[in-house]
């Protein structure tokens, strides 16, 4: 394997990006080196490209962009046992410190020291990306790469829908961008699961309606990270710190919210997804 790779980087504190040849990341004892197979462009990446006010206050060039991706494991550190070379994976790109008060209480999604791969350190718009093994999510090899690369926004949709009581309700999704469209699909899926899941799991006896968060929720609902679809860092498409958990490991959470008919009316505002965005 070559010692260098191509990467799409924010090199200067100005509008634009550049493709550069950079060293392949060194892997530590607890790291995984992933060969990127597919990556998707988030609205945050567009903000960074345009060098708007939020980007100017957050991004410290030079840095390789990209936080929505999938790939195969190239090699692992000496202490890594959960995955091995050739495994198909994606990753949670919010890296918490593990030592602060919030992390010690199990609330790593609000860690004040969180760093985001592709925002605060080199990301996945490159041939290879280095990820802590604790943040790696192994994927089913049957999942198409084009889906594996968008688990981050799908996780946001899952947690947004499951954050409230949906079963038996009529819901309006305003703003049918990617996450808005995914939110509609997730909510429709809750209705379809009504006759599939065990009623004891779906809802308390005689209730007919389940806790919207579901049993499989990875405590990712309402998490807001660095991404900003409005330019001020409030929220955005990378909001959920448990996004891949929501998309890959949260089938039980989806089951937990089923139990009633759900109807949808979808309105498009400005093409941006406003569902659960806090805008």
Per-residue pLDDT of the chain (279 residues; tens, 9 = 90+): 899 999 999 999 999 999 999 999 999 999 999 999 999 999 999 999 999 999 999 999 999 999 999 999 999 999 999 999 999 999 999 999 999 999 999 999 899 999 999 999 999 999 999 999 999 999 999 999 999 999 999 999 999 999 888 877 888 888 899 999 999 999 888 876 554 444 444 444 334 333 333 333 333 333 333 343 333 333 333 333 333 333 333 333 333 333 333 333 333 333 333 333 333
Residue (of 137, 108, 84) closest to 248 by Cα position:
137
- Give how many domains the chain has, as a whole number: 2
Q: Are residues 16 and 61 in the same domain?
A: yes
Q: Is 81 a catalytic residue?
A: no
Whether 159 maps to a domain, the answer reads yes
Q: Are residues 26 and 65 in the same domain?
A: yes
Structure tokens at 211: 């806790």
Question: Count of residues for the chain?
Answer: 279
Q: Are residues 12 and 136 in the same domain?
A: yes
Cis ω on the peptide bond leading into residue 215 (within 30° of 0)?
A: no
Instruction: Tell me the C-alpha distance between 275 and 54, whole Å.
Output: 21
Whether 274 maps to a domain, the answer reads no
Instruction: Tell me the C-alpha distance between 112 and 128, whole Å.
Output: 28
Helix (H, G, I), strand (E, B) or coil at 174: strand
Q: Is 47 a catalytic residue?
A: yes
Q: Are residues 165 and 198 in the same domain?
A: yes
Instruction: Tell me the C-alpha distance between 3 and 258, whole Å.
Output: 50
Q: Kindly name the residue from 4, 29, 44, 67 that is annotated as catalytic.
A: 44
Whether 190 maps to a domain, the answer reads yes
CATH number for position 81: 3.90.180.10
Q: Are residues 162 and 134 in the same domain?
A: no
Instruction: Tell me the C-alpha distance between 155 and 247, whole Å.
Output: 5
Instruction: Tell me the C-alpha distance between 152 and 173, whole Å.
Output: 19
pTM reported for the whole predicted model: 0.69
- Contact between residue 264 and residue 173 where contact means Cβ atoms under 8 Å apart: yes
Please identify which residue in the block is written with the tokens 């790593």. 108
Q: Are residues 16 and 112 in the same domain?
A: yes
- Contact between residue 246 and residue 155 where contact means Cβ atoms under 8 Å apart: yes
CB-based burial label for 31 (10 Å; 0-12, 13-18, 19+): buried
Whether 253 maps to a domain, the answer reads yes
Q: Are residues 258 and 231 in the same domain?
A: yes
Q: Are residues 127 and 8 in the same domain?
A: yes
pLDDT at 169: 80
Whether 69 maps to a domain, the answer reads yes
Q: Kindly name the residue from 47, 67, 109, 159 that is annotated as catalytic.
A: 47
Bridge-based pairing of strands 263-267 and 170-174 is parallel
Q: Are residues 131 and 56 in the same domain?
A: yes
Q: Which of 148, 183, 202 is the last residue of a domain?
A: 148
Structure tokens at 156: 């946001």
For helices 151-162 and 178-192, what crossing angle results, to 10°?
60
Q: Are residues 257 and 132 in the same domain?
A: no
C-alpha dist (Å) from residue 69 to 42, 145, 147, 181: 11, 9, 9, 19
Please identify which residue in the block is written with the tokens 């599939």. 196
Q: Which of 127, 148, 169 is the last residue of a domain?
A: 148
CB-based burial label for 21 (10 Å; 0-12, 13-18, 19+): exposed
CB-based burial label for 171 (10 Å; 0-12, 13-18, 19+): middle
Q: Are residues 26 and 135 in the same domain?
A: yes
Provide, for the chain, the percentages of residues in helix, strand and coil under a 3-state DSSP scheme, each rounded to the nearest 5.
25, 20, 55
Whether 44 maps to a domain, the answer reads yes
Q: Are residues 208 and 126 in the same domain?
A: no
Q: Which of 107, 123, 148 is the last residue of a domain?
A: 148
Whether 198 maps to a domain, the answer reads yes
- Contact between residue 146 and residue 68 where contact means Cβ atoms under 8 Å apart: no
Residue 44, domain extent: 4-148
């Amino acid at each position: 394997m070559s010692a260098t790779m191509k990467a799409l980087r924010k090199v200067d504190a100005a509008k634009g990006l550049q493709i550069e040849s950079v060293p392949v990341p060194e892997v530590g004892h607890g790291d995984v080196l992933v060969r990127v197979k597919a990556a998707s462009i988030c609205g945050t990446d567009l903000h960074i490209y345009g060098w708007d006010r939020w980007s100017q206050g957050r991004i410290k060039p030079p840095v390789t962009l990209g936080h929505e991706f999938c790939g195969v494991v190239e090699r692992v550190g000496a202490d890594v046992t959960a995955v091995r070379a050739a495994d198909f994976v994606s990753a949670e790109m919010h890296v918490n410190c593990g030592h602060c008060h919030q992390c010690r209480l199990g609330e790593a999604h609000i860690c004040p020291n969180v760093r985001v791969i592709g925002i605060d350190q080199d990301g996945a718009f490159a041939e290879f990306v280095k990820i802590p093994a604790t943040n790696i999510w192994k994927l089913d090899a049957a999942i198409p790469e084009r889906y594996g690369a968008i688990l981050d926004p799908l996780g946001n949709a899952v947690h947004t829908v499951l954050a409230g009581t949906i079963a038996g309700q009529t819901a309006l999704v305003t703003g049918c961008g990617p996450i808005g469209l995914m939110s509609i699909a997730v909510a429709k899926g809750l209705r379809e699961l009504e006759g599939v899941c065990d009623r004891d799991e779906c809802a308390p006896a005689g209730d007919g309606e389940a806790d919207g968060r579901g049993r499989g929720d990875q405590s990712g609902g309402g998490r807001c990270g660095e991404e900003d679809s409005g330019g001020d860092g409030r929220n955005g498409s990378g909001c959920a710190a448990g996004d891949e958990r929501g998309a890959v490991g949260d089938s039980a959470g989806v089951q937990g919210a089923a139990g009633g008919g759900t109807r949808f009316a979808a309105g498009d505002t400005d093409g941006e997804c406003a569902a659960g965005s806090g805008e």
